[in-house]
Chain A
Amino acid sequence: MTTATPPTTRPRVPLTVIGIVLPAMTSLVGILIVLPFVPARDIVVHWGTSGPDGYAPAWTFVIGMGAMGLIAPVAFGIPLLATRGELPSVLQKLLAAVSLAVSGLLAVIGVWVVLGQQQAGVVPAVWTGLVPALGVAAVLGALGWWLSPTPVAVASHARAATPLPLSPGERAVWIGRTHLATPGIVVIALLIVVTAVVAVIATAVTDGRLGALVCVPVVLLILLLTTSFWTVQADDSGLTVRSAAGWPRFHTAAVQIAEAGTTDVRVLGEFGGWGIRFGRGRRLGIVMRSGEALEVQNRDGSALVVTVDDAGTAARLLSTVAARAGSGKASPSKG
């Protein structure tokens, strides 16, 4: 009997544990270590190029450690959680290992800042903190990489679709819609609201000197509208993928279609993220989620990939349309 898991001699820890749980625990351990040693006075919390230049009460620094400790598990954890059903890829391994390394780096620096300043007026040299922090980060990063599952090579083979039988005079159109997963849209929408509020407040407080901040929510809104909602249309003219804003728009003409098929997309493994993405082998991806996708090979060697439900039907119609266009059979004129 054969099993799906390859023979292994070392532990395989889930990526979410390495990239989220362990980093959060590392941050927590750092805080627990310094808690008994927090002095009731101001300490140096920031170093500039010419030495210490920032002071704050020690207890606020510990709160800061908690906030900083959440950065890596959250920033690296969101893409890991969103793709946890996929076969592991190199990028996911890297995200998890870097998350653990960054948490280790920040935790050691935090511990060094507090423990190094137990005596009032004595501030240790920066390198005495930075060197061990980088060392711990390297060790944790390597450990995270070593513990994480072996990446599975990307073997994306689009399955060519059997043409949809259409009688000679018959016309058909397939229309599908696809958008970024709802949690992603919610996160971006929240970012837009928060940055808009911050921009308005900052503009008011600074008498307009920071007015340019208003650009941030506007740019985010434009990005949301141009990259997160798509209409996919297959008809006699070929394949057209168009954003909710009408632009950008990608088109593969029927005569240019070498093959239409379906594929299973792994967001991080194949395209490195969501949105309009370039994958290996001149594949342009409109990647809104993992899973079922339409893949159209262009005669020029490039490919257009769109993650959309019912992609099989679209691929079948495009196969027919491509065959018709290739044989030079024009559809009958308007009746």
Chain B
Amino acid sequence: MLLRIDPTSGEALFDQLAAAVRAEVGRGALRPGDRLPAARELAASLDINVHTVLRAYQELRDEGLVDLRRGRGAVITDQAAPPVELLAAVRTLAAEASRLGVAPATLVAMIREAYPS
């Protein structure tokens, strides 16, 4: 799994880290049952605070994407396997947005707006 963060981007680091995990799940590099690195180790390799990592993991747990268990660490849940047809639809949507020159952030905002709550 490739996890990247940019401390100069202004977005909160834990949000970036959580987004990076989501992206790896989307790419298929992380599958249900895979273990995320121990928070302390990940914090050391990315040179960030361990609490930042833990906060990202908690955010992912609240979404149901990971299971946090004492002793086992953070494990990707079955929810991480998105339906194939949804993936295809998202790819089409992203391609269309890119063709129309819609920025990714705008597209995300549009999806959030349209999502039935």
Over the window 179-201 of chain A, the binary record of Cβ atoms lying under 8 Å from chain B Cβ atoms (1 yes, 0 no) is: 00000000000000000000000
Chain B residue contacts of A175, Cβ below 8 A: 1, 3, 37
Neighbour of A236 across the interface among B1, B6, B29, B47, CB < 8 A = B47
Q: Decide if A332 touches B3 in the complex (CB within 8 Å).
A: no
Q: What total of A-B pairs shows CB separation below 8 Å?
A: 59
Residues of chain B within 8 A (CB-CB) of A333 are 47
Cβ contact within 8 Å between A313 and B5 = no
Q: Which of A168, A174, A237, A334 is close to B2, meaning CB atoms less than 8 Å apart?
A: A174
User: How far does the alpha carbon of A176 sit from the alpha carbon of B3 in the complex, in Å?
Assistant: 11
Contact of A235 (CB < 8 Å), options: B7, B13, B46: B46
A176→B2 CA distance, assembly (Å): 9
Q: Cβ of A334 and Cβ of B48 under 8 Å apart?
A: yes
CB distance from B19 to the nearest CB of A (A): 13
Q: Do A176 and B1 have beta carbons less than 8 Å apart?
A: yes
Contact A170 B5 (CB under 8 A): yes
The proximity string for A residues 294-335 relative to B, scoring 1 for CB distances below 8 Å and 0 otherwise, is 000000000000000010010001000000000000011111
Q: By the criterion of a CB under 8 Å from any partner CB, how many residues of chain B are at the interface?
A: 17
- Bound-state CA distance A176–B36 (Å) is 10
Residues in A whose Cβ lies below 8 Å from that of B37: 173, 175
Instruction: Select one of B1, B4, B45 contacting A170, CB under 8 A.
Output: B4
B42 within 8 A of A: yes
Mark each residue of chain B from 28 to 60: 1 if its CB lies under 8 Å from any CB of chain A, else 0: 010000000100001001111100000000000
Please tell me if B8 contacts chain A, counting CB pairs below 8 Å: yes
Q: Which one of A174, A175, A233 has the highest number of Cβ atoms from chain B below 10 Å of its Cβ?
A: A175
The 8 lowest CB-CB distance pairs between A and B, nearest first, are A172-B4, A169-B8, A335-B7, A170-B6, A235-B45, A173-B45, A174-B2, A171-B46
List 8 other contacts, CB 8 Å, given A170-B6, A173-B2: A164-B2, A168-B8, A172-B46, A173-B3, A173-B37, A173-B42, A174-B3, A313-B2
Which residues of A come within 8 Å of B, CB atoms? 164, 166-176, 233, 235-237, 310, 313, 317, 331-335
